[in-house]
Structure 1
C-alpha cells in the first residue's frame, strides 16, 4: 500500500483535517516558503496531532546543528532535505532522513546513488526552485529505482493524477501540498479525495 504525506501544514484547521483523514505522514516546512512556520508554531500544532501520524521536517540547506535542534524540539520522525546537502552532511543524524532530488531526465536518477538515506524524494526540476513547484516530471521515464530504494514521489500531484502516478512510478510514498489546497490553504475535501484515490477507497 502506497503511503501518503500531506505537506505544508500551517494551521490548527490543517491538524484537525489530518487527524480525521489519517495520512501516514505530515510535513512542516522550516525553510523559506509561503508555507514556512517557526519551530515554536510547529510545536503547538504537533501537540494536537494524532500520535499515529509521523512528523516530517522540511529543510533547505540548514546547518545540521539547526536541523538537530528543531528535530529535538518538535520530536520529528523524519528530516527531509531539499537543498544542496552533500552525502556526508546528512549522515549520522538522530532521525530518519529523506533527500530530495529534482528530476529532469533519466540521468537525474544517477545522483541518487551517492546518497545513503532512508528515503529518496523525487521532485520536478524547475530552474531556481528547490521544490513546491506544483509541476510533475515525466513519469514515463524508465527507472527501476524503486526496487532497492524507498521512493517518495512529489511534484504536481493531485487527486486527478495520483492514481496514474502510483501505477507508473510505484512509489512507496506520495507527497502532496499545493494539490490539496484552495487559495493557498489546505482543503479538507481535496485531502479526503486524494487519500481515497491512493487507498482505493471510493466510498462517499
Structure 2
C-alpha cells in the first residue's frame, strides 16, 4: 500500500483535518516558503496531532545545530532536506533522513547515487525554486532508477493524477501540498479525495 504525506500544515484546522483523515505522514516546513512555520508554532500544532501520524520537518541548507534544535523541540520522526545539502551532511543526523532531488532529465539521477539516505524524494525541477512548484516531472524518467531506500513521489500531485503516478512510479510514499489546497489553504474535501484515490 502506497503511504501518504500531506505537506505544509500551518493552521490548527489543518491538524483537525489530518487527525480525521489519517495520512501516514505530515510535513512542517521550516524553510523559506508561504507554508513556513517556526519552532514554537510547529510545537503547538504538533501537540494537537494524532500520535499515530509521523512528523516530517522540511529544511533547506540550514545549520545542523538549528535542524537538531527544531527536531528535538518538535519530536520529528523524519528530516527532509530540500536544498544543496551534501551527502556527508545528510549522514550526520540520528533521525531518519529523506533527501529531495529535482528531476529535470536522466542526469538528475546520477547525483542520487552519492546519497545514502532512508528516502529519496523526487520533485519537479524549476529554475531557482526548491519544491512547491505544483508541477509534475516526466514520471517515465524514474521508472528504472535503482532503489536503495524509500521512493517518495512529489511535485504537482492531486486527486486526478495520483493514481497514474502510482501506476507508473510505484512509489512507497506520495507527497502532496498545493494539490490539496484552495486559495493557498489546506482544503478538507481535496485532502479527503486525494487520500481516497490513493487508498482505493
What band does the TM-score fall into relative to the shorter chain? over 0.9
For residue 144 of structure 1, what is the aligned residue in structure 2? 144
1:140 deviates by: 1.7
2:49 pairs with 1:66:
no
Q: Cα deviation per residue 1:33-90 (whole Å; 9 max; x = unaligned)?
A: 0000011000000000000000000001000110001000000000000000000011
- Tell me how large the CA RMSD over aligned residues is: 0.9
For residue 2 of structure 1, what is the aligned residue in structure 2? 2
CA contact under 8 A between 1:146 and 1:171: conserved in structure 2? no
CA distance in 2, matches of 1:195, 1:188: 11
CA distance in 1, matches of 2:25, 2:142: 27
CA contact under 8 A between 1:146 and 1:170: conserved in structure 2? no
1:95 deviates by: 0.7
For residue 98 of structure 1, what is the aligned residue in structure 2? 98
1:92 deviates by: 3.0
Q: Which runs of 5+ in 1 are unaligned?
A: none
CA distance in 2, matches of 1:112, 1:97: 14
CA contact under 8 A between 1:120 and 1:151: conserved in structure 2? yes
- Kindly tell me the number of residue pairs found equivalent between the two proteins: 200
1:188 deviates by: 0.2
For residue 164 of structure 2, what is the aligned residue in structure 1? 164
SS at match of 2:79: strand
- The structure 1 segments of at least 4 consecutive aligned residues displaced by more than 2 Å after TM superposition are 142-149
SS at match of 2:113: helix
5 Å-filtered alignment, 1:63-142, equals 63-141=63-141
SS at match of 2:101: strand
Q: Which runs of 5+ in 2 are unaligned?
A: none
SS at match of 2:139: coil
| TM-score normalised per structure 2 | 0.98
1:142 deviates by: 5.1
CA contact under 8 A between 1:105 and 1:141: conserved in structure 2? yes
1:155 deviates by: 0.1
CA contact under 8 A between 1:58 and 1:82: conserved in structure 2? yes
1:173 deviates by: 0.3
For residue 17 of structure 1, what is the aligned residue in structure 2? 17
